[in-house]
Amino acid sequence: MARRALLRGGIAATMSFTLAIGLVPLTTGAAGAAAATAEVLIPAPTVLRPRTALLSAGPSGFLRHEYGRGHLWTSYAGVDTVVDASATDVHTMPDFGAGSDVVARYDATARTVKLRDMSAGGSRTVALPAGHEYSGTLGWTVVTTTGSSGAADITWHLIDTRADGSHTRRAVQGVPAGITATFETNDPLGDARGQVVRYRMAEGGRTGWLDVDQGRLVPLPQRGDQTEGQVVLTPTHLLFWRWADRFVAIHPRDDLTAAPRTVPLAADAQLLGMVGETLVVSRHDPSLGRHAYDLPVWRVEAVAPDGSTVKTLLARSAGRGVPTPGGGLLVAGGPGTDWDQWGVSLVEATDGGAVTVRRIAGAHPQRLQKTVDELSLTQGRLDTLEYDPSIERRHLFTRDIGVTGPLTVGARLARGAVHEGCAFPVCVRQHPTGDGRTVVSGVTGTPQPHLLEPDQPLPGTPVDSSRSYASVAAASGRFVALRTRTGTGTGTPAPTPTGPDEGASETRVVDLDTRQTVFTTTAGVAAMWGSTLWERVGNDAVAPVDVLTGQRGDQVWFGRGCLLEDFQAVGRWLLWTCLGSAEGQGVHDTVTKRNLTLVSGSGWSRAKLGDGFVASEADGQLRVTDVRSGTPVSHHLGEFSSWRPWDIDPYTATIAHVGADSGIHLVPSGIPVSPLVQLDAAVAPAARIKGSAGHWKPKWWLSKPAASWTLVITNPATGATVNTLSGGLARGLVTTTWNGQDRLRRPLPDGAYAWTLTATPADGQGAVLTRSGTVNLTNECQIGRTRRAVGCS
């Protein structure tokens, strides 16, 4: 956050300190909480994740698994029959049958296989012979294996069943000696006529065709240790594809030993199947989510025999395709990105060679809850890093929270997805500056910091590309403190250190407006507020320094034996947490020089500092401790866990935390914020105007939101107002542009002009802020005889 940073080291006692910008005396002696408005809940959004798994297909329908509904047999007319409502197993065929209307269910305890005819009805049960292991079912034939893994004696057997319940057993012929293992596969590589099998021998992996009709194993030229998704079976062809080859080898099933024909296919695809002479492939669409084979982030396309893409068949899909005995291909997906369009579609070839798609069944997506991995609340702007389990990706969002009257929540602004390499632990870090901008790190997979303007999408723009940074130490207003590491210059950023100061060689404070380094220190940076940087002094003290002037204030000491573990700064207040022999937690007031110990010893909890109060967890409750009077006064604000994401907005005194319901709770602390003051300003004393260039662009950073502001420019000689500029709600920053013209848009003559800024606090607490000064105007626009500006482009 802008005002705090974790600091490892020491804590506690009497201190002396002098500081400049942004500190005002207490204006109230009340220690109790002010009346608070009601809590506001932002419910955790839910998303749908389709979990359709296609298992097998026959002439009249297909078997699939749907989350929460188990195994369903679906006719091509879209009628569902529940096969096993409690089923959770989603392994593909031939475990459950292949290439027919027969659904197989293996009972490992009883060692029986029940075969159920989903079209004509009826069932058959096969008891496995001793020493046989179940391999799968092809039509009405059960496939088993015998032999021990690693013993080089594995072979296959076929158990043919009859309608009267009898069966015969055949040993598969042509099986080479020396098979040590068989490969399990999730590919739909079988039908009633046979199955592709993979096995290992001493010389490596092999592939074979297990012919049911002939009871024979036919060796194939392809290796058997290739990854899934490279072998596809259709009623007429067997397709092999390796990414490295960049082509698909297509073998006719009536002569698997004949030389195949090939179709070019780039490595960015998955091969789903073939209908007619058209390949059906899926390609990852990065806009839909991260690259993962089981996620709905794939676009289904038709590819012609020359390798060209014919058209998009489905905009969104997941999983494998399953061929039908009629030459079609079943694919789970939808024509758009809406989940209500998701279902099972049948891809078919027309007589003219074209490809058609028709949806034949709806789906039953799983409803999941999004989670908030990180949040920050600054000047009423809520930034959240949210995890979407439907696509397994994290996105950054921003919401404007009302800062006048009761809490309100604005629309959620999507800022983009973070780098996929930062899944766990969450490596993206947000550092709001308090003026609508955010410094983020980790969004590109490295610690290199980027700046997000108020509405800018990720990844933003690099803060400083001239060197590599290890982490962001603190940010406030126009300044960000960036840690470098020993030996890093331009080039690849160094890895993030395990602690904020570990391995850091120096910290550079960069002006975000100019992108120039304004201050450099080799001391550890504890926190920043406005233009004041808090440096660590040893293990038990900190010292303030103005990054613009380099002026240092008095050291603040936390007592002998303190190892400063955490330090935060908000305006006049400092929160310290010490380990070591002086373990404890407390608050120091830099105006009165008083130190208030809140916890002595090890009973402290994770805490965050607000403007005159501390929030922490106490017995599962959110505890707010008012320290403004010098005597701690606490009240509780409901259920709370400090281990879930949470934050205090020091500019509005609102607390945001994620509850057990995964929703975001916005809770007014009940402590009024200090009067509105200026934290920093960038007001040029002179301006040279020439047409659209050189305008005067003053900026004032504020200690809390202003409901409105007015900038009056006057002629000091006459006292007359020459122009008035104004604006509405300002969240921490008032900025405007003056083009050297009067209210009638006429260029003003050269000279000194006085300005007065007034800003009204949005919370109604405290006086109106007033600032004033002069600007020397050099106006290269002149007034001609017609009273029109000349000499300006």
Tens-place pLDDT, residues 351-363? 888 999 999 999 9
pLDDT digits (tens, 9 = 90+) for 769-793: 999 999 999 988 655 444 445 545 4
Reduce the secondary structure of 597-620 to three states and give it as a string.
EEEECCCCCCEEECCCEEEEEECC
Residue 9 has pLDDT above 60, yes or no: no
pLDDT, position 187 = 62
Q: Which of 18-27, 266-275, 456-465 has the lowest mean pLDDT?
A: 18-27
Residue 2 has pLDDT above 70, yes or no: no
User: How many residues comprise the chain?
Assistant: 793
pLDDT, position 185 = 61
Residue 65 has pLDDT above 80, yes or no: yes
- The whole-number average pLDDT for the span 6-20 is 35
pLDDT, position 222 = 77
| pLDDT band, residue 226 (cuts 50/70/90) | low
Higher pLDDT, 294 or 166: 166
pLDDT, position 240 = 87
Higher pLDDT, 583 or 692: 583
Q: What mean pLDDT value characterizes the chain?
A: 87
Q: What pTM was estimated for this model as a whole?
A: 0.83
| pLDDT band, residue 341 (cuts 50/70/90) | confident
- The whole-number average pLDDT for the span 194-217 is 90
Residue 338 has pLDDT above 90, yes or no: no
Residue 250 has pLDDT above 70, yes or no: yes
Residue 453 has pLDDT above 80, yes or no: yes
- The whole-number average pLDDT for the span 160-168 is 92
Cβ atoms of residues 588 and 601 within 8 Å? no
pLDDT, position 493 = 39
Residue 21 has pLDDT above 60, yes or no: no
- The whole-number average pLDDT for the span 610-639 is 96
Residue 589 has pLDDT above 50, yes or no: yes
In the chain, what is the greatest distance between 2 CA atoms, to the nearest angstrom? 114
CA-closest candidate to residue 584, choices 7, 11, 126, 161: 11
Pairing of strands 686-689, 769-779: parallel
Reduce the secondary structure of 726-752 to three states and give it as a string.
EECCECCEEECCECCECCCCCECCCEE
pLDDT digits (tens, 9 = 90+) for 127-160: 999 999 999 999 999 999 999 877 888 999 999 9
pLDDT digits (tens, 9 = 90+) for 518-564: 999 999 999 999 999 999 999 999 999 999 999 999 999 999 999 99
Distances in whole angstroms, Cα of residue 732 to Cα of each of 381, 434, 478, 647: 10, 6, 11, 18
| pLDDT band, residue 182 (cuts 50/70/90) | confident
Proportion of the chain above pLDDT 70, given as a percent = 88
CA dihedral angle for residue 770, residue 401, residue 36, residue 627, rounded to 10 degrees: -60
| pLDDT band, residue 428 (cuts 50/70/90) | confident
Reduce the secondary structure of 511-580 to three states and give it as a string.
ECCCCEEEEEECCCEEEEECCEEEEEECCCEEEEEECCCCCECCCEECCCCEEEEEEEEECCEEEEEEEE
CA angle centred on 317, ends 316 and 322, rounded to 5°: 150
Distances in whole angstroms, Cα of residue 3 to Cα of each of 21, 537, 675: 14, 18, 18
Which residues on adjacent β-strands are paired with residue 432? 438
Element containing residue 166 per DSSP (H, E): none
pLDDT, position 73 = 96
275 Cβ neighbours under 8 A, 6+ residues apart: 234, 327, 328, 329, 347, 348, 349, 355
Q: Which of 22-26, 169-173, 317-321, 393-397 has the lowest mean pLDDT?
A: 22-26
pLDDT, position 693 = 74
pLDDT, position 445 = 77
- The whole-number average pLDDT for the span 182-195 is 78
Residue 26 has pLDDT above 70, yes or no: no
Distances in whole angstroms, Cα of residue 153 to Cα of each of 146, 176, 184, 347: 8, 9, 17, 42
Question: What is the Cα–Cα distance from 793 to 791, expressed in whole angstroms?
Answer: 7
Higher pLDDT, 569 or 97: 569
pLDDT, position 372 = 95
Q: What's the N-to-C CA distance of the chain in angstroms?
A: 43
**Tokens matching residue 338:** 């809406």
Residue at token pair 């410094």: 439
**Tokens matching residue 363:** 């789906």
pLDDT digits (tens, 9 = 90+) for 464-516: 999 999 999 999 999 999 998 655 444 333 333 333 344 447 999 999 999 99
pLDDT, position 309 = 87
pLDDT digits (tens, 9 = 90+) for 701-731: 999 999 999 999 999 999 999 999 999 999 9
- The whole-number average pLDDT for the span 401-423 is 86
pLDDT, position 224 = 62
pLDDT, position 419 = 74
Chain centroid to Cα 404, Å, comes to 31
- The whole-number average pLDDT for the span 382-397 is 92
pLDDT, position 740 = 93
Cβ atoms of residues 96 and 80 within 8 Å? no
Cβ atoms of residues 471 and 441 within 8 Å? yes
